[in-house]
Structure 1
Amino acid sequence: MPIYVYWGEDDFAIDRAVKALRDRTLDPAWGSFNFDKIPPDRPEATQQGLNQAMTPPFGGGGRFVWLQNTHLCQHCSAELYAELERTVNAIPDSSVLLLTTGQKPDSRLKSTKLLKKVAEFQEFASIPPWKTDLLAKRVRQVAKDVGVTLTEEATGLLAEAVGNDTRQLFGELEKLNLFAGGDKVTADAVEQLVTATTQNSLQLAKAILQGKTDAALGLVSELIARNEAPLKIVATLTGQFRTWLWVKLMVESRERDEKAIARAAEVGNPKRVYFLRREVDRISLAQLQQTLPVLLSLEAQLKRGADTVATLQMKVIELCGICRI
């Protein structure tokens, strides 16, 4: 299939996938003649990309045309749609047309519906930081791709430390591989060499849950000092407290089946439910229910341009007060 659509928030993963597709398509000796990267700010970018995809390659290999950060799946004029409809089924097998976008394609658009009939779509979404089982699965997959062997404990620690930062994950795995000299990477190596990022957002959630105001405020300062996006911090907190609320609600409903609790709380690994139940054992359902409106208010204030540090600090103090016994 000569047409591909890559979309999602994980820019680093998209860049790697683009490179792999490009390398499969182009002959290195003729790559400079047959590779077109067309940014969205170029006039008539989409039209140019379609025209280039119809052009036979020079020399050996195929032609690779990349419409970078295109908006074709978000809005498409009638004239452009007509040109797209005329072109997509006529692109020769010797050409590859790639469209990348950070936004989810709008399935209601005629252009998206047309592309879904002729193109291969691939999503590169960032995993929510509180989905630790999915993060660990991602670590295992990337480690396999890179050729690094990790112990199970090392896998969990690395997933907690880098969260959904794919760029950092690849960098840390390369560093750990050099340090281990080809041997299996242990948890001690991860603790020595890897700088935690998202882990601190989860630590912040746990400090709030335990009502530890001083520790929570310290973690807020650390996250801001590391230029962590405030809305990303709030997203992590909201996701974690929503998970805790569902677990507590199911426990209060006398549900004993960990698989049922995991489904309700959207926890991929039912074995994790045991630890989540222990985490919410000391806090009441009513307290957890009070946290989500505060987090919603925090998100709204930040989106309206409120002072980041002061707003985070005030809301963290309020949340710790709710969770304190």
Structure 2
Amino acid sequence: MPIYLYWGEDDFAMSQAISTLKQDNLDPNWIQFNFDKFTGDKEDSILSALMQVMTPAFGIGSRFVWLFETNICQNCSEELLTQLQRTIPQIPESTHFLLTTSKKPDARIKSTKLINKYAKVVEFALISPWQTEILVKKVEEVAAEKQVRLTPEAIKILANCVGNDSRLLWQELEKLSIYQGNNQQLIDEETVKNLVNVSTQNSLQLAQAILGQNIPYALELVNDLITLNEPVLRIVATLVGQFRTWAIIKTMIELGEKDDKKIAESADISNPKRIYFLKQEIKNRSAKQLLSSLPILLELEASLKLGADPLNSLETKIIELCNV
């Protein structure tokens, strides 16, 4: 009785895995008879899926029943739990039962414990943007899967370009695969920069450049972002959010707070582990410096909303921010 629970927010990676699972277990000539997809947040629909998994497959191949975006692992009535307990152990070997959800299963409830007992559970979590080593490793894995050969520096550039966007990573590696063809030479960083249609720069990098008081690099990033038609108010919103977070963290540190969980809560950061990395970023800056950046950013936002020239306004205020 092959049962699978796929969960997580990386919907593209999950969809790729689901596609592979279907291809491996469904005969294309019998797919209309043996494939069923049910909405997973309504009890009637879930009960219908449980009835369908007990139906033998027609013709060649297996039956595939997919319970989409189910809430079984978050909320399950006693009646539904009873039906799950009756059905899951009896599912035929010829049926593949897939449950998917973007939400993390609640390990405390009985339905989750039951499914965990019988199912293959796979998490499809988005990699946090600051986990650069994991992002690089992800690029390496997908590149190897697609047989695209890249230099280590090219891998880093590509990871920086696509971030945690699995769909974009897949698309860009498809492009690089076509470019490489049968050529066994490694693709270098310059080739990646020329072929990948996303900026190697983003607003968070701009914030880092300002924090490091690197005026030439910051101005280069501004020009790149404007050239790529990045909405200027979105750039400012990102800068405001980043400097606000840095300012809160540094203020709490200077007030003597050592509990990362409390700091994360005050800074509205869901993962306390991120605090360690943020502390490293601002170790050479004071709370006063970081706080004084916010009025400058608010002035920039106001001037842009009043119709000021985006590039000139950004360049002027970026230089001012770097000199704080």
Q: Same fold (TM over 0.5)?
A: yes
What code does the residue aligned with 2:231 have?
A
Name the counterpart of 1:205. 207
Name the counterpart of 2:66. 66
Identity %: 41
Name the counterpart of 1:260. none
What code does the residue aligned with 1:105 have?
P
SS of the equivalent of 1:38 reads strand
Deviations 1:252-281 (A, max 9, x none): xxxxxxxxxxx99767xxxxxxxx98x76x
1:196 to 195, 198, 202: 198
Distance in structure 2 (CA, Å) of the matches to 1:134 and 1:93? 37
SS of the equivalent of 1:89 reads helix
SS of the equivalent of 1:44 reads helix
Whether the 8 Å contact between 1:8 and 1:102 is mirrored in structure 2 is yes
Q: 1:112 to 1:190 in 2, by over 3 A?
A: same
Name the counterpart of 1:4. 4
Name the counterpart of 1:119. 119
Distance in structure 1 (CA, Å) of the matches to 2:48 and 2:319? 56
5+ long unaligned stretches in structure 1:
250-262, 268-275, 299-306
Distance in structure 2 (CA, Å) of the matches to 1:53 and 1:159? 41
Whether the 8 Å contact between 1:5 and 1:121 is mirrored in structure 2 is yes
What code does the residue aligned with 1:143 have?
A
Q: 1:22 to 1:229 in 2, by over 3 A?
A: farther
Deviations 1:3-31 (A, max 9, x none): 10101111100000001111111122222
What code does the residue aligned with 1:31 have?
I
Matches within 5 A, 1:225-264: 225=231, 237=242
1:78 to partner: Cα distance: 1.3
Work out whether 1:99 is the aligned partner of 2:105.
no
SS of the equivalent of 1:113 reads helix
**TM-score, length basis structure 2:** 0.71
Whether the 8 Å contact between 1:202 and 1:236 is mirrored in structure 2 is no
Whether the 8 Å contact between 1:36 and 1:64 is mirrored in structure 2 is yes
Q: 1:324 to 1:229 in 2, by over 3 A?
A: closer
Distance in structure 2 (CA, Å) of the matches to 1:185 and 1:32? 43
Distance in structure 2 (CA, Å) of the matches to 1:289 and 1:96? 58
Distance in structure 1 (CA, Å) of the matches to 2:141 and 2:134? 11
Q: 1:43 to 1:192 in 2, by over 3 A?
A: same
Distance in structure 2 (CA, Å) of the matches to 1:153 and 1:288? 37
Q: 1:31 to 1:73 in 2, by over 3 A?
A: same
Distance in structure 2 (CA, Å) of the matches to 1:234 and 1:113? 43
> What is the aligned residue count?
282
Work out whether 1:36 is the aligned partner of 2:40.
no
Distance in structure 1 (CA, Å) of the matches to 2:38 and 2:89? 21
Work out whether 1:175 is the aligned partner of 2:181.
no
Q: 1:53 to 1:230 in 2, by over 3 A?
A: farther
